[in-house]
Amino acid sequence: MSEISIEKLFSTSELEGVKNSFVLGTLAVNESYYPSIGESQEVITYAKNSSGILFFIKSVSPDPIPIEEIKGPIYNDYYIGFDNDDMGFGPEYKHLQPSEQIQYIRKSLEGKLFLFNPKLTYNEKNKRYYKNLKIFSPEGNYQDGVTYIPVPKVDMSVEEFEQALLEGMEIEFKQYNHTMPTPRYVQCRDYIYSNFEEWKKHPRTKTTRTLINPKGVKRIKIDEEEHRDMLAAGLEYLYFFPINYMQQTIDKMFQTEGVLCEEWGKSEKDLVAGKTEALNVEKVVEEKPHAHLLEIEFLKAFEKLALEKGLYYKKEDLINFHTSVKTSALNILAGMSGTGKTKLATLYAEALGLSQKNNTLLVLPISPSYTEPQDLLGHLNVSTGLYSPGETGLIDFLKEAEKSAKKNNGQIHILIMDEINLSQVEHWFAPFISLLELDEKERELRLYSKNAVCHNRSDYPETIHIHDNIIFIGTMNMDETTKDFSDRLLDRANIVVPTKLSFKESKQALQSIGFEKQEFSSEDFKDAYGTFEVFNSWKSKKHPWDAFEEHELEFFDQLHEILHKVDQMKGFSFRNIVRMGDYLNHIPVGTNGDLMINRRDAIDLFIKQRILTKVRGPIEVYEELIGTQSSAQDVPYNSRLYDHFTTEEAQKISDFTESKKELERKARELGMNGYAS
């Protein structure tokens, strides 16, 4: 068999199917064996007898079926990537020295999850098969030992999908082709289906299957927010979840809550009846204020408190900040020094009824000397066997938040990291960046090894649980004394830049609410809004994808392609589109029933504070993307992004006023300094 070429083992369609399938992988660090095809036994090394650098990737989700079924000799257990094989590294990569390139690859890939397209190659010289790959997109952080399972999502209504299952009709899995393993789970809207007996593949298509026998198929309704939090990676029609989550949580739900296909129609009727009963109950309990009315009351209190304390910001900016906090674990207030960013964050906490006195608020000034988590958290002294907490007070604050989360009416806690970029955030904040990507149940901050000797363990246990009741807010100045953020952080945080009112607008704002004689403090709002129950009631239960129309998604796909073409490690990621959907779904509704931020403006704000923040770099790389601008009056010249935001398709979605202003700023900076930040 070693004499048979790979083309004869597999059909052309199978080979194309492999290249168009998706696998989740991570850099194969700390493995026991690497194939001897590099100059050293390292996970990243120089290739033998050829120029370039190679690296080894281990798959943490199932391989395509043809790769699993190869009977001939496979030389490598790991996928092999070559840096000269369109790996998607940034354009600056090719200008680095070889040793710097190795470090670049390690920094880009180590500890990360990423989607890749596998491919099979055959070496005629040694008659062996090789597993190679092309990186598709970076995702979140990798947890050691975790494996993942792909779950296709169908682009159908629940009624259409269930009819197709029951009647043996063709079902298209758009990003799940025939070379990928038989799907064990399928998602349709907010339902998961499983217990499939057999799927039939259709030879005339590459992504269509028919269920042979629907008997025994069950469905469960998922908690959309909890399910989404467990998502490790994915595309629009393909998700990857940890196998443990699917087996321990989802399978258990199928056993206890699963509805057999024979009962689907009946269950729908019962569901409608249940909803009607719930509405009748709600009418009886009219004395309880609606959540959205309480949120409106809070926002008015927040605005009044800000004005009384001398912070003159646009109302829309305050609502944007609040909406961002509801939808992202980490938010950063940015702007020039002295504009009241820290004060705004503390007043937001005060409006929720939080205070440092009650240990529900902690303002943590960041020092340039912070280089690792222990600088904030403290450390275990192995000589004395005592845990020494950091002088920041962060450990005690986290313990209080954990304790509060276990109460029925526990409080929200806010951690404000003042001047977050005076030191490299990715170093001292590293454990939290990783933890905030996980489901709440899995967020265990480890202080020291469970086997370590710690005499004051009762006061400082080995782990602290980070619950959803903690809000992380950073403030940052944009000047020469600060550190840049990595794309890894920018992809997870909203960068909110509030706009200061003019002096005339400030006076009008003060007069309009007529509170010159009032004095507000956090005591006026004590326990009014800051319980987790109340704050959580302001969050939407809508699915992020329901926030978009198809023409909008097509526009954002085009935006991704524009970014991705210049730098293949950048783009409009799956995480970004989900977060945008969350953001749009969480915009507060006013008393008149209208959104408190116009939807068109909200899309513009999100693009500015979540997508354009990552567009930065030298003129040699980004001139075509950003363009240049010779004066403040000109629009950017030769800017693909600016042109994209001025198309007819763009204007159907938003005016993109703020995004275009941001591009103008970057273009001026690029023209003047040769670098855009």
For residues 666 and 616, is the Cβ–Cβ distance under 8 A?
yes
**pLDDT tens column, 492-548:** 888 888 877 666 666 666 655 554 444 444 444 544 577 888 888 888 888 888 899
DSSP calls for 350-394: HHTT--TTTTSEEEEEPPTT--STHHHHEEEETTTTEEEE-TT-H
> Which of the residue ranges 140-144, 151-155, 322-326 would you say has the lowest mean pLDDT?
140-144
Backbone φ/ψ region at 346: left (φ over 0), alpha (ψ -120 to 50), beta: alpha
Strands 233-234 and 218-221: unpaired
Q: What distance in Å separates the CA atoms of residue 636 and residue 654, rounded to the nearest whole number?
A: 19
pLDDT at 502: 67
Could you give the CA distance from residue 498 to residue 503 in angstroms, rounded to a whole number? 15
Residue among 336, 340, 356, 338 at smallest CA distance from 308:
340
Over range 39-66, report the average pLDDT.
Answer: 89
Distance, in Å, from the CA atom of 46 to the CA atom of 657, rounded to the nearest integer, reads 48
124-141 average pLDDT score: 80
Instruction: Please tell me the least confidently modeled range out of 35-49, 263-277, 643-657.
Output: 263-277
Q: Is the pLDDT of residue 448 over 90?
A: yes
Q: DSSP assignment of 629-649, as one string?
A: -SSTTSPPBS-HHHHHTTSHH
Pairing mode, strands 361-365 and 413-418: parallel
Closest residue by Cα to residue 148 from 106, 119, 108, 113: 113
> Tokens for 364?
């943590």
Residue 321: which residues within 8 A CB-CB, separation 6 or more?
331, 333, 344, 348, 496, 498
Quick one: CA torsion of 250, 252, 256, 261, rounded to 10 degrees?
50
What pLDDT, on a 0 to 100 scale, did the predictor assign at position 9?
Answer: 66
Q: Is 6's pLDDT higher than 80? A: no
Rounded to whole angstroms, the Cα distance separating 388 from 24 reads 40
CA 198 and chain centroid, separation: 34
How far is C-alpha 413 from the chain's CA centre?
22
Burial class (CB in 10 A: 0-12, 13-18, 19+), 78: buried
| Residue corresponding to tokens 């490299």 | 424
Query: So what's the pLDDT on residue 629?
Result: 80
DSSP three-state, residue 105: helix
pLDDT tens across 110-120, in order? 999 989 999 88
Sign of the Cα torsion 126, 129, 134, 138 reads negative
Q: What's the CA dihedral at 417, 423, 427, 428 to 10 degrees?
A: -40
Q: CB of 584 within 8 A of CB of 553?
A: no
DSSP assignment string, 393-407: -HHHHHHHHHHHHTS
Give dist(CA 394, CA 501) in Å, integer: 34
Q: What is the mean pLDDT of the chain?
A: 84
Other C-beta atoms closer than 10 Å to the C-beta of 271 total 12
Nearest to 349 by CA among 305, 307, 392, 313: 305
Does the pLDDT of residue 71 top 60, yes or no?
Answer: no
Helix 574-585 with 599-606: angle, nearest 10 deg: 150
Could you tell me if residue 656 is left (phi over 0), alpha (psi between -120 and 50 degrees) or otherwise beta? Answer: left
Mean pLDDT (whole number) for 185-200: 93
User: Residue 381 pLDDT more than 60?
Assistant: yes
Residues 510 and 516: beta-carbon distance below 8 Å: yes
Q: Which amino acid is at 75?
A: Y
The DSSP code for 155 is S
Query: Cα-Cα-Cα-Cα dihedral of 629, 631, 635, 639, to 10°?
Result: 0
φ/ψ (deg, to 5) at 495 = -100, 100
What's the CA gap between 610 and 630, in Å, rounded? Answer: 26
Is the pLDDT confidence value at 479 over 70? no
pLDDT per residue as tens digits for the range 241-258: 999 999 999 999 999 999
H/E run at residue 60 = none
Look-up: residue for tokens 């845990």? 387
Instruction: State the alpha helices, DSSP H only, in 442-573.
Output: 487-490, 503-513, 532-537, 550-566
Quote the pLDDT of residue 482: 53
Q: pLDDT at position 286, please?
A: 35
